[in-house]
Amino acid sequence: MAEKVKVPINPSIPSGEQTVWADVSSLLDLACKDLRDGELIHGENFNLFAAMSALEIMDPKMDSGIVCTYYSVDEAIESGAAPVPLSLDRTLDVQCTIEIMDHLLACEEEDLFTMAYGLPLKGDGDEKCLSMLHAVEETIARQLRACKAPSAKKRVLEDVETLQTHPDLEEDYCKALLCRIRFRKHFYHVLASMRRPQGRGFELARKHIASCLSELDSILNSSEFLRSNACGPCKDGVEHSTTATGCLPIGFDASLNCRLSAPTPPRSIKILSWRKAIEYFQKLLHDLDIICSYSLDPLLEGVLRFVVEFQKFQPDLVARAHLQLLLVQDGKLYGRDPIFVVISKAAALPEVPRNHDIQKNEILVQLVQLVISLLKILCANAAWQRRKLGKILHDWRVIYIQLELAFQKDLGEISSILNDEKLCAKISKHILIWVEEQTFWIASRFLILGFELELYSPSEYCMVYWYIYVVLIKLAEKTHLKMLTSSETGKRKGRKKKDSLKDLARDYQIPPTVLLLQCQIYLSEGLTMLFQMLASLRSEHKVFPSLGPFNTEHERFIQHFELLQKASIPDHISYLSYKESTTQARSSNLDMHNCFKDARRIAKELRSSFSNDQERMAELRRIEQVAEHNGVALNLICRLGTLDPSLKVYFEFCHHPYFATAVVKRS
């Protein structure tokens, strides 16, 4: 056994008046002997985390109790790490203040509600906070005016105290401070205006957004002046610094909370650089401006399209949260339209039941909640959105079955409520068709998000496009059926018998919305056959690289479409049906040509129908480009693919976010 070593008492820490140092080595030795192997001390104030934190391994990320010169805010002030005031030199004091403001801007990317430099904020807005911001702004603005005033007027403004001691720097320091304070003020007004119910503050919010962007430009322009006059130590340089000067801000310590509280995970958050923080706020403000410019479309189809288009800008959490708050307020669309009324419009229900007791039906109440959940899910980030859409598909399938059974079982009861059996039949038919349409729309969204998240490998594109193909066919069928049903209801009123034959042809024309889906169906079918043809070349002629040896094709099919399969979307679709369908299409090169050709033709014909819709016009141009390029690539593959081993084919998403474009090159 090793000899006991007597540890000398540290003489650098003297005893106090009521305290004295004592040697507890024997006590610790007894405590250690009392513990058996595998045992651990655990108490109210001492758990596993505290035990691990007691051991220092000289890593700031792991040692919450690492040695430091201060352990509290008061000690930091006393030690000079966070001096108050910042400096007795007024010029240096202004510089340090601006650096603190810049660092807070970078920190606000993590928490947007520390907006006012420590001033208290309340949920409904804090007048004291705004009044203090206004007062500081007015003081600095008055000093700026004094700097710019001609020498004759400066005598009148002599009572205005300067910010710092160098007259030639006064104007630029005033501008640097003003743009930072004004940005905070306008941004506070943006958030406050956007919180007003039913979008009533959007017009005012857009004005403040424009002011915020202008002030951010001024903040960027002030960086050159601030860097040229910086006095403090620069550690990481301007590119990685959280300040415009590149100097470290005074009074910030990311690990302070870790040392104060043992249960706090000892990890510091990576803060954006100053320039990245400004870019973040510029992007956020542009996203908020898109929300504020939204026309508050009362139709659910328009709402869904807007949310999907908005998500293409990849908005961050703050913008998406404001969008969700706008869409769903107090269980109503925009806080004004009851969701059942929105469903009634979407499903083209007759006017009678909208304010009737039928909406109190338990299944219809569940349907309302499903629509609310769908709107909230669509406002989430792509990964979370796809995961939730896959799960909610089952709920939509179940609600369809429940509605179908309820309408059959309670037809008499509902008919007595409405006093019209035919009207009840219409309502049940319209709702069931609309629920099916929405179910297939959700399924298509689920599949498309897989491309955005890069969940599919090129070897799986064939089965993915095949599944998109069968889902879009069902979606087009239900959309067309819904439009026929709604137009039939509307046009039947007041139509004379002699006019019915005259309008018959016009009634059965395919609507442009369905034709747009037909374009996407042709692209999906053509790509499915194109990938199948490449797979055939790969196996028969070994022109293209073979597949990997791990998961089988059947296993990958289940992995990607398990949630759709469990919800039976669509009915009677399985891996066997996929194999049967694609096997029949292997040698049909003419069909592939026709698919891309028809998609391009219909897209051109639809231009006049969507001339006032920029989003759909852009989609038509993308479809034309994909169809044209894939048609050219197909010709090359058919002409050279089996003869030239050096031919390489790969796919890019250069023209469309989820319809691939084939690129043919020689290796």
Q: Residue 425: pLDDT above 90?
A: no
Please give the average per-residue pLDDT across 582-600, as a whole number. Answer: 77
Q: How far apart are CA 379 and CA 210, in angstroms?
A: 24
Please give the average per-residue pLDDT across 491-511, as a whole number. Answer: 54
Percent of the chain past pLDDT 70, that is, above it, reads 77
The whole-number pLDDT of residue 113 equals 47
**The tokens 């008061």 sit on which residue?**
74
The whole-number pLDDT of residue 352 equals 53
Better-scored residue on pLDDT, 149 or 91: 91
The whole-number pLDDT of residue 472 equals 97
Most trustworthy range by pLDDT among 69-83, 285-299, 507-521: 285-299
Residue 497's pLDDT band, with cuts at 50, 70 and 90, is: very low
647 strand-pairing partners: 666
Residue 469's pLDDT band, with cuts at 50, 70 and 90, is: very high
Residue 588's pLDDT band, with cuts at 50, 70 and 90, is: low
The whole-number pLDDT of residue 207 equals 97
Residue 53's pLDDT band, with cuts at 50, 70 and 90, is: low
Q: Residue 437: pLDDT above 80?
A: yes
The whole-number pLDDT of residue 119 equals 46
Which range, of 51-60, 136-145, 202-211, 539-548, averages the lowest pLDDT?
Answer: 539-548
In 3D space, the residue among 119, 137, 138, 139 whose CA is nearest the CA of residue 129 turns out to be 119
The radius of gyration computed from the CA coordinates of the chain, to the nearest angstrom, equals 34
Asked if 77 contacts 83 with a C-beta cutoff of 8 angstroms, the reply is yes
CA dist 149 → 152, 153, 160, 175, 178 (Å): 8, 6, 12, 15, 17
How many Å is the maximal CA-CA distance in the chain? Answer: 116
Q: Burial-class residue 528 by CB neighbours within 10 Å (0-12, 13-18, 19+).
A: buried
Better-scored residue on pLDDT, 43 or 68: 43
Most trustworthy range by pLDDT among 123-137, 388-402, 571-585: 388-402
The whole-number pLDDT of residue 659 equals 96
Q: Residue 145: pLDDT above 90?
A: no
Mean pLDDT estimate for the chain = 81
The whole-number pLDDT of residue 31 equals 81
The whole-number pLDDT of residue 211 equals 97
Q: How far apart are CA 503 and CA 495, in angstroms?
A: 10
Q: Residue 411: pLDDT above 80?
A: no
Q: Residue 6: pLDDT above 60?
A: no
Residue 400's pLDDT band, with cuts at 50, 70 and 90, is: very high
**The tokens 């220092």 sit on which residue?**
56
Question: pLDDT for 183-202, tens place per residue?
Answer: 999 998 999 999 999 999 99
Better-scored residue on pLDDT, 23 or 591: 23
The whole-number pLDDT of residue 276 equals 92
The whole-number pLDDT of residue 498 equals 44
CB atoms within 10 A of CB 166: 14
Residue 67's pLDDT band, with cuts at 50, 70 and 90, is: low
Which range, of 233-247, 435-449, 524-538, averages the lowest pLDDT?
Answer: 233-247
> At residue 120, what is the residue type?
P
φ and ψ at residue 183, rounded to 5 degrees: -60, -45
In 3D space, the residue among 274, 265, 287, 217 whose CA is nearest the CA of residue 243 turns out to be 274
Most trustworthy range by pLDDT among 410-419, 445-454, 479-488: 445-454
Q: Residue 28: pLDDT above 90?
A: no
Q: Residue 393: pLDDT above 70?
A: yes
Q: Residue 614: pLDDT above 60?
A: yes
Q: How far apart are CA 437 and CA 481, in angstroms?
A: 9
Residue 607's pLDDT band, with cuts at 50, 70 and 90, is: very high
Better-scored residue on pLDDT, 73 or 67: 73
Q: Where are the alpha helices (H) located in 312-420, listed in sequence order?
A: 317-327, 339-346, 362-378, 382-409, 411-418
Buried b (16+ CB within 10 A) or exposed e, 343-353: bbbbbbbeeeb
pTM of the shown model: 0.81
Percent of the chain past pLDDT 90, that is, above it, reads 45
Q: Residue 248: pLDDT above 50?
A: yes
> At residue 362, what is the residue type?
E
Which range, of 75-79, 189-193, 242-246, 391-395, averages the lowest pLDDT?
Answer: 75-79
Better-scored residue on pLDDT, 5 or 340: 340
Residue 172's pLDDT band, with cuts at 50, 70 and 90, is: very high
Q: Burial-class residue 276 by CB neighbours within 10 Å (0-12, 13-18, 19+).
A: middle
The whole-number pLDDT of residue 93 equals 87
Please give the average per-residue pLDDT across 44-53, as a whole number. Answer: 73
The whole-number pLDDT of residue 51 equals 72
The whole-number pLDDT of residue 254 equals 64
Q: Residue 612: pLDDT above 80?
A: yes
Please give the average per-residue pLDDT across 611-633, as a whole number. Answer: 94
Residue 18's pLDDT band, with cuts at 50, 70 and 90, is: confident
Which range, of 161-170, 271-280, 416-425, averages the lowest pLDDT?
Answer: 416-425
Question: pLDDT for 99-144, tens place per residue?
Answer: 999 998 888 755 554 444 444 445 444 567 788 888 889 989 988 8
Q: How far apart are CA 166 and CA 424, in angstroms?
A: 83
Asked if 307 contacts 375 with a C-beta cutoff of 8 angstroms, the reply is yes
Residue 423's pLDDT band, with cuts at 50, 70 and 90, is: confident
